[in-house]
């Protein structure tokens, strides 16, 4: 376990990128597994940062750790956002076609009108899903830090 926690940051992000692309592929473009992947990533980030920083001055180091957690969580959700842009934005060109049949696009009809459902689905996939991944990562990392500092204090 210590070998995994002492992994280089570049190697961690390469592993993250590969796993995130696999999870997007498994979900066929729907990033549900990427959102759930935010929980172990948040745990890993907080444990790795807490072990790398000296825990002698809790306020200063905790602030530094929280800033780093937010930075890394933003990087991970930014990558998912870029993947979602690449997957779903080419499909959104259908909005420019006045004769487009939105019922046959395969998008779930979550709202009353097919065109509004299509727009809602694109917004959900491209913007809301990476934000949910960011929230999952930050939440899991804060819980892991809470547990760690609870053991120390």
Could you give the count of Cα atoms lying within 13 Å of 63 in the half-sphere of its Cβ?
Answer: 3
Average pLDDT over residues 37-59: 79
pLDDT greater at residue 1 or residue 26: 26
Query: For 65-73, what is the mean pLDDT?
Result: 92
The pLDDT, as a whole number, for residue 134 is 97
pLDDT of the residue at 13: 93
Q: Hey, where are the domains in the chain?
A: 2-152
Alpha-carbon distance values, 58 to 5, 10, 48, 53, 64 (Å): 21, 27, 16, 10, 10
Q: Exposed, middle or buried: residue 59 (CB in 10 Å: 0-12, 13-18, 19+)?
A: exposed
| Average model confidence (pLDDT) across the chain | 88
| Inter-CA distances, 145 with 22, 53, 85, 135, 152, Å | 28, 13, 32, 15, 11
Segment 76-96 mean pLDDT: 93
Which has the minimum average pLDDT: 82-96, 99-113, 117-131? 99-113
The pTM assigned to this predicted structure is 0.87
> 109 burial class (0-12, 13-18, 19+ CB within 10 angstroms)?
middle
């Amino acid at each position: 376990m210590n070998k995994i926690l002492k992994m280089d940051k570049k190697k961690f992000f390469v592993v993250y990128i590969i796993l995130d692309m696999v999870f997007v592929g498994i979900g066929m473009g729907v990033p549900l597994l990427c959102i759930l992947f935010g929980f172990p990533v948040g745990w890993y980030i907080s444990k790795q940062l807490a072990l790398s920083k000296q825990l002698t001055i809790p306020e200063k180091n905790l602030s530094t750790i929280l800033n780093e957690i937010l930075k890394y969580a933003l990087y991970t959700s930014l990558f998912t956002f870029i993947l979602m842009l690449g997957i779903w934005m080419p499909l959104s060109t259908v909005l420019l076609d006045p004769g487009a049949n939105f019922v046959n696009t395969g998008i779930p009809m979550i709202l009353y009108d097919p065109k509004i459902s299509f727009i809602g689905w694109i917004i959900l996939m491209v913007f809301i899903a990476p934000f949910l991944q960011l929230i999952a990562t930050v939440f899991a990392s804060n819980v892991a830090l809470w547990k760690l500092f609870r053991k120390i204090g």
